């Protein structure tokens, strides 16, 4: 089951360009797993689920095939001390924070193309840094206060409390739904439909309101998902109709009508 590409600006389509080789060969990404204590949840903020992926995984998605190393950070952390043990022979070191899950691949590539064209040693972003790695090895202090502006208002939007988390979830949710709509799926009520990041839905399907389609779920062609289903980690084959049912860890064969009010767990029909 292939992974869904969500935002038209995420890394998978972007890296089909000629930049793919130099990006993956030349760039190390150090992702700071940021512990923000504004959250009241017992979960660590960077592990909070947003539409089927952890917060930090959304940032990792934007950098595609680049090598990624992670380390935990707080507001008191010294960035240089944190990242220097992870440096390798890559030409550029890109430092990102886990609390920017709306960061996009197009902005990632824009920044790196700028660094390469201008041959800069250090670049401070709204939330993060880019360095020439050889330069980074030899500095002991981050001097620059000037911040370069790339991308849009969302790329470096810091998700540092529950209200911002809600806003980010809505944005990502709508990106996912818009992707499916553009791909030929009818979604009848965006407000009450939730689809996780790794869900694949084929063209010609109709998804009514009140549906939660979660995890690694595949829905085949021309299916009709009527209102108020929960479908999780399952395969729904072509031309099925699902009516107000719960389906988990199951496979439904072609041309089957499920429901209403069925519960199918761990079965193959």
**Cα dist. 149→93, 124, 146, 152, 240 in Å?**
18, 9, 10, 9, 48
- Alpha-carbon gap, residue 239 to 120, rounded angstroms: 55
- Pairing label, strands 218-219, 200-201: parallel
- pLDDT tens string for the chain (269 positions)? 333 333 433 323 333 333 455 677 899 999 999 988 777 776 789 999 999 999 999 999 999 889 999 999 998 999 999 999 999 999 999 999 999 999 999 999 999 999 999 998 999 999 999 999 999 999 988 766 678 889 888 999 999 899 999 999 999 999 999 999 999 999 999 999 999 999 999 999 999 999 999 999 999 999 999 999 999 999 999 999 999 999 999 999 999 999 899 999 998 87
pLDDT attached to residue 142? 79
Closest by CA position to 32, among listed 85, 96, 123, 126: 96
Return the structure tokens found at 11: 């890394």
Q: Which residues contact 207 (CB under 8 A, 6 or more apart)?
A: 180, 185, 186, 187, 188, 193, 195, 201, 213, 225
**Cα dist. 34→23, 171, 236, 244 in Å?**
25, 21, 38, 40
User: How buried is 143 (Cβ within 10 angstroms: 0-12 exposed, 13-18 middle, 19+ buried)?
Assistant: exposed
pLDDT attached to residue 14? 33
pLDDT attached to residue 39? 79
- Alpha-carbon gap, residue 246 to 258, rounded angstroms: 9
pLDDT attached to residue 48? 93
pLDDT attached to residue 40? 74
pLDDT attached to residue 7? 40
Q: Which helix (H) or strand (E) holds 146?
A: none
pLDDT attached to residue 145? 64
182 CA to centre of own chain: 19
- Alpha-carbon gap, residue 126 to 145, rounded angstroms: 11
Would you say how long the chain is, in residues? 269
CATH numbers and ranges of domains, the chain: 11-162 (3.90.550.10), 183-265 (2.160.10.10)
């Amino acid at each position: 089951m292939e992974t869904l590409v969500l935002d038209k600006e995420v890394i998978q389509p972007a890296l089909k360009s000629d930049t793919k080789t130099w990006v993956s060969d030349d760039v190390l990404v150090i992702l700071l797993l940021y512990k923000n204590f504004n959250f009241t949840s017992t979960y660590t903020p960077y592990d909070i689920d947003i539409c089927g992926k952890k917060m930090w995984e959304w940032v990792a998605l934007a950098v595609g095939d680049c090598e990624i190393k992670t380390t935990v950070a707080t507001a008191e952390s010294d960035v240089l001390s944190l990242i220097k043990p992870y440096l390798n022979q890559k030409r550029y070191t890109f430092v990102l924070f886990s609390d920017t899950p709306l960061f996009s691949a197009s902005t990632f590539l824009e920044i790196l193309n700028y660094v390469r064209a201008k041959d800069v040693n250090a670049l401070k972003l709204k939330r993060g840094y880019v360095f020439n790695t050889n330069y980074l090895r030899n500095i002991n202090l981050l001097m620059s206060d000037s911040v370069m502006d790339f991308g849009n208002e969302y790329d470096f939007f810091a998700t540092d409390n529950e209200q911002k988390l809600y806003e980010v979830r809505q944005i990502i949710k709508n990106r996912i739904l818009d992707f499916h709509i553009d791909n030929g799926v009818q979604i009848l009520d965006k407000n009450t439909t939730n689809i996780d990041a790794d869900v694949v839905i084929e063209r010609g399907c109709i998804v009514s309101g009140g549906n939660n389609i979660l995890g690694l779920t595949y829905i085949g062609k021309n299916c009709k998902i009527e209102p108020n289903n929960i479908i999780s980690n399952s395969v729904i084959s072509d031309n099925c109709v699902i009516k107000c049912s719960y389906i988990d860890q199951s496979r439904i064969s072609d041309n089957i009508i499920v429901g209403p009010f069925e519960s199918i767990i761990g079965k193959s029909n």
